[in-house]
Amino acid sequence: MSTRVYDCLKLIAEKIIENKDFLTDLDREIGDADHGVNMARGFQAVIEKVDPEDADIGNALKKTGMTLLSTVGGASGPLYGTAYMEAAKVFAGKTEVSGDDFKAAMEAAIAGIQKRGHAEKGEKTMLDALMPATDVLSEKLAGGASLADALTDACVAANEGIEFTKTIAATKGRASYLGDRSIGHQDPGATSLTMTLETIRDFLKA
């Protein structure tokens, strides 16, 4: 019998693995065509290394982060790895997810990604999905929405964030070498990040 946090992480992993080719194709347009392959390898390792029976959400997220650090290989490794490890600190010793904790974990993930990648909003990165999603989540929770409902609206904002990345040029990572030629393409990192949030949304609603 596996824990809820493990089940959710496994669904995220399956979603990423299922979209390996799609994410890699997006990255082929503006990057080095490895985002899907790298993320799929990392999340395959997550399924294998996270303890399915440990209900401590902090432990599960920390193990996820450490695993991504050592198995993704590209820049997504330290970026996603740091995001999960920062989120893990919020959930240390906890077995349930509250709206406030989820929001705090998203904020901690943003801070971790910014520390690692030195990126701001509007640079065609995963932050362009995660930051507006967190703003909307926070607003909806403050208005009394449940976590599942707030996350549903946050996913809409994350998808708008993906659309926004099509309109701007990259200034970080490999895509920045392309300058304005990166305009018109959606960011692979913003896409995988949105898939993650959508999977958690579906898990909470199920």
**Residue closer to other proteins (CB basis): 72 or 137:** 72
Residue 17 within binding range of other proteins, rule CB under 8 A? no
Regarding 74 and contact with other proteins (CB under 8 A), the answer is yes
Interface with other proteins (CB under 8 A), residue from 79, 137, 154, 158:
79
The residue among 69 and 148 lying less far from other proteins, judged by its C-beta, is 69
Query: What dihedral angle (degrees, nearest 10) is formed by the CA atoms of 86, 185, 121, 180?
Result: 130
At which residue do the structure tokens 């549903």 appear? 152
Q: How far is the CB of 37 from other proteins (least distance, A)?
A: 10
Interface pattern 142-181 for other proteins (x via CB under 8 A): -------------------------------xx-------
* Residue 122 binds to other proteins (criterion: CB under 8 A): no
Q: Kindly give, in sequence order, each residue whose CB lies less than 8 Å from that of residue 158, ignoring residues fewer than 6 positions away.
A: 129, 130, 132, 133, 190, 193, 194, 197, 198
Classify residue 187 by its DSSP letter.
Answer: -
Task: Rule CB under 8 A: say whether 78 interacts with other proteins.
Answer: yes
Integer Cα distance of 136 and 6 in angstroms:
26
Interaction site with other proteins (CB under 8 A): 38, 41, 66, 69-79, 81-82, 116-117, 173-174
